[in-house]
Amino acid sequence: MRSSRKSVRTGRWLALLALPLALAFSAPGLAMTSDGEVAPDRVSSGAQNGVGLMRIVVADKSGIDQLNELGVDLAEYVKPVDNGIEVHAILSPEESQALRDMGFDVQDAISDQNDYAENMTERAGTMRALTAAAASTDTLTMLRAEWFTSLDNQLFLNIEVKSSAGTDSTTVLTASWDSGAGTEIGSGGTATMSRFTDAGQYMYHRFSNPVAISAAPAKATITSNKGGSVTVDVSKWLGSPRKVTGNHPYVSDFVDHYMDATEVTARISSLAAEFPKLTQLIDLPYKTNGYRRQAQAQFGTASASIVYVTSKAYGSEGGNDITMSLVNPGVANAPLTVGVSGKAVTVNLATNGSGAISSTAAQVVAAANGNADAAKLLTASTYRGNAGAGVVAAAAVTRLTDNLKAPASVSRDPFQMKALRIGKQRDGSKVGVFLYCQEHAREWVTPLVCVETAERLLRNYAKDPNTRKLVDDLDIFILPTVNPDGSHYSMYDYNMQRRNMTNYCPATSADPANRNAWGVDLNRNFSIGSVYDGYNGGSTSCTSDTYAGPSKLSEPEARNEVWLVDTFPNIKFAMNNHSYGGYFMWPPGAYKTAGREVLPRVDQGTEAFFWTSSDYILSRVQEHRGTGIWPGRTGPVTDVLYSAAGNSADEHWYNRGIIGWDFEVGADVYNPTTKRFTAVGFQPSFAEGHEEAMEFANGNIAILDVARSYATDKLQPRSELKTVKQEPGATTFTFTTSEPANVYYTLDGSRPTFDSPKLALAGMREGNQTLTVKGNTTVNWFSIDIAGNVESNYKPDGNGKNYNKQTVAIQ
């Protein structure tokens, strides 16, 4: 405000000076400084005319009046001094000089532009520090911002942001977005984000569910209550166009009911018989334990007096024929005896002097196990480790049973697992893909996905050119059920059975009431990242639903998978089909609980390949009925789901370099009326299960498309060095590539090789890392794609110089 007043004033009274009138004020009783010299003005900064607050000494009050008459900007300050009156005026150097020319004693400056500049510098410094402090309180790193469609073209928004203050639970992020390009931020909506933590560690902020929106946003702003905000572009998730479209009708839809393991195995066997030129049926070497159990019976109800017995033979092999009775002899002072006739075990209970039964559970157990003939048939136990001091009750003849209810068409023998190998040329020369389903028994949709995929490949081969390319160029292994015994148990006995049927429990937890709590979680039985190595998400308890088994690879089902990928080393891709939730995931899949130490993350190029593949594969899933798999359910298992110690995808990737993907079929279904997502569960109505099978068969075929692209990829990647930031004395850069590829670089002028540093990711779900150099630096580098094509055909192990070179300059 003062500067505008000043300019008006300055112009006016300096102009007055040009008039003779000015001379009327000459010699107004001048006062000189003590040394007779006029104090020099301090240096004009040039800014604001270099004004300063100057000290003027006049002889008397008339001098002040004269200054006022001239329109000089006087401060509200008057001070008597020895030789007159000191006043202060705001003057430019020119104005000071003009007043001196008129005979005024303009002395030194109280403050001038140098002070002003210092003040402003100090203020700016303080402001920078404050801003920096605010920024360091919360720096927001954008991970993902995407919109997508699902079912009935409902639009959804997904945002993931990492907050530097995220470990503080009071940090709240709010997202606002526009309603299309050029519209105001906030016009599309605003939502508070959820703080996503796992194993006690902050991961990032996200929406717990994608937010339903009415228009595709172009930009979103995320603001932290701890200060700081970031505005980013919102991109479209999924919807990449199909690469190949055939003119021939593509046939699909080959499943019309939920099938047990016997049925799906018969189905792929008949496909093998029908298409002998394109297939081979592989008997996997390790038979399962079988859909079978020992027969059991339990006597009594109170824990201390319960006796239960378990047959030595499986129920199907004679155990179900055994009977047992606890007989009250009806006389006083009878001894406890055991008699065996054929397969009938009779326990004659002891009585006391008054004829009452006196045998305790522990005594009956000892008597039965101590009888040689009875011990050939069964083992007796007290209940769950109880001492068994309670007196037992008499019991009529009771037949032991394995409690298995599957029809006789389901064999009780060890199961012969079969894989269907599909390919025109099945000699190991083609890139192999292993598609497998139903490691978890209750996930009934998954074997349908495998069967549907096999049917489509074989029945479209003759007419559909894309199918023909897949079968001609790939070596495909489909295992429709990894857990056949559990599959039968889930369908006929206990529908929530997840594990196989092998019971490793000791007598303390092997009573018949526990029979739905036995078995090994096959997807925890593998050898990488196992609970036996301290990883999270597997259990060593035989009754836990994530029981990892007594040791790594203890189970024939898991060993069959390992046998397959070891026997066919051309296998480069694997898909582990599970349900439910609608996930698409890849390694790492496990971390150690202490410190959340994750299995090594895949490198930058592979992670980029995963994301690029996701777009293609999930677009194919979406084609069936519009289901959009959420970006927030896409990524490494440890980042989007949980730690799954000893899972098979990690086994394949870390031990063999096989790209091991996981599907969770069965995405949540959005209800536009209630505006809620509903989970579909393991066994939805067949109408829903059928849709899931169709859309994820699309996904498995899409994986074959990706594998074929990999197999036939001869295109070399191209890469560029991109400067990100230049500051005095430091330049920051990164690399971009034309396709997913790794970049190896050197900063010391040497030739880049596979031993050189490799460009990494900046962090979980973040972009490429950046590199900062503090002197002019020669950067040498090359890129290599996932298929092994090297940029410019450079030979990292050779002597050629045809790598990329660029000097990064410092300002």
Contact positions toward Zn ion, by CB under 5 A? 440, 578
CA distance linking residue 470 with residue 707, whole number of Å: 9
Is residue 269 helix, strand or coil?
A: helix
Residue with Cβ nearer Zn ion (426 or 442): 442
Minimum CB–partner distance for residue 405 and Zn ion (Å): 23
For 191, other C-beta atoms within 10 Å of its C-beta total 15
For 684, other C-beta atoms within 10 Å of its C-beta total 19
Residue 711 Cα distances to 338, 343, 782, angstroms: 70, 62, 22
CA distance linking residue 633 with residue 664, whole number of Å: 9
CA distance linking residue 206 with residue 144, whole number of Å: 9
Residue with Cβ nearer Zn ion (502 or 731): 502
Sheet containing 74-81: order of strands: 74-81, 84-91, 52-58, 105-111
Minimum CB–partner distance for residue 684 and Zn ion (Å): 15
Minimum CB–partner distance for residue 442 and Zn ion (Å): 8
Give me the long-range contacts of 243-247 (CB less than 8 A, separation at least 24).
243/616, 243/705, 244/465, 244/466, 244/469, 244/705, 246/463, 246/464, 246/465, 246/466
* 474 residue type, one letter: L
Residue with Cβ nearer Zn ion (77 or 642): 642
Minimum CB–partner distance for residue 194 and Zn ion (Å): 25
Is residue 140 helix, strand or coil?
A: strand
Place of tokens 């104090």: 39
Residue with Cβ nearer Zn ion (442 or 488): 442
Minimum CB–partner distance for residue 171 and Zn ion (Å): 34
CA distance linking residue 488 with residue 261, whole number of Å: 7
Residue 329 Cα distances to 335, 338, 359, angstroms: 9, 12, 12
Minimum CB–partner distance for residue 687 and Zn ion (Å): 22
CA distance linking residue 428 with residue 567, whole number of Å: 10
CA distance linking residue 230 with residue 346, whole number of Å: 80
Tokens at residue 32, please? 């000189």
Name the E strands within 587-709.
Answer: 591-592, 597-598, 634-636, 659-667, 669-671, 676-678
Residue 92 Cα distances to 79, 96, 721, angstroms: 22, 6, 52
Q: What is the DSSP letter of 75?
A: E
Name the E strands within 284-407.
Answer: 294-299, 307-314, 323-327, 337-341, 344-348, 378-382, 395-399
Place of tokens 């039964």: 357
Minimum CB–partner distance for residue 578 and Zn ion (Å): 3
Minimum CB–partner distance for residue 523 and Zn ion (Å): 6
CA distance linking residue 190 with residue 174, whole number of Å: 7
CA distance linking residue 685 with residue 494, whole number of Å: 17
Taken in order 539, 544, 548, 550, the sign of the CA dihedral is: positive
Residue with Cβ nearer Zn ion (55 or 578): 578
CA distance linking residue 482 with residue 529, whole number of Å: 20
Residue with Cβ nearer Zn ion (412 or 578): 578
Q: Which helix (DSSP H) or strand (DSSP E) does residue 304 occupy?
A: none
Residue with Cβ nearer Zn ion (461 or 696): 696
Residue with Cβ nearer Zn ion (483 or 604): 483
CA distance linking residue 170 with residue 158, whole number of Å: 22
Minimum CB–partner distance for residue 227 and Zn ion (Å): 43
Residue 719 in contact with residue 618, Cβ under 8 Å? no
Minimum CB–partner distance for residue 440 and Zn ion (Å): 3
Residue with Cβ nearer Zn ion (226 or 442): 442
Minimum CB–partner distance for residue 643 and Zn ion (Å): 14
Minimum CB–partner distance for residue 577 and Zn ion (Å): 9
Minimum CB–partner distance for residue 438 and Zn ion (Å): 8
Minimum CB–partner distance for residue 688 and Zn ion (Å): 17
Residue with Cβ nearer Zn ion (440 or 620): 440
Residue with Cβ nearer Zn ion (109 or 450): 450
Tokens at residue 751, please? 């030739």
Minimum CB–partner distance for residue 583 and Zn ion (Å): 10
CA distance linking residue 56 with residue 67, whole number of Å: 10
Residue with Cβ nearer Zn ion (585 or 771): 585
Residue with Cβ nearer Zn ion (305 or 483): 483
Name the E strands within 610-712.
Answer: 634-636, 659-667, 669-671, 676-678
Minimum CB–partner distance for residue 443 and Zn ion (Å): 5
Residue with Cβ nearer Zn ion (572 or 578): 578
Burial class (CB in 10 A: 0-12, 13-18, 19+), 240: middle
Residue with Cβ nearer Zn ion (226 or 578): 578
Identify any residues that bridge with 797 across adjacent strands, giving them in sequence order: none
* 78 residue type, one letter: V
Residue 393 in contact with residue 300, Cβ under 8 Å? yes
Q: What is the DSSP letter of 250?
A: P
Minimum CB–partner distance for residue 585 and Zn ion (Å): 11
Residue with Cβ nearer Zn ion (576 or 783): 576
Q: How many helices and strands (H and E) does the chain possess?
A: 15, 39
Residue with Cβ nearer Zn ion (440 or 633): 440
Kind of pairing, strands 84-91 and 52-58?
antiparallel
Residue with Cβ nearer Zn ion (326 or 445): 445
Residue 438, phi-psi category: left (phi > 0), alpha (psi -120 to 50), beta (remainder): left
Identify any residues that bridge with 398 across adjacent strands, giving them in sequence order: 324
Minimum CB–partner distance for residue 694 and Zn ion (Å): 20
For 488, other C-beta atoms within 10 Å of its C-beta total 28
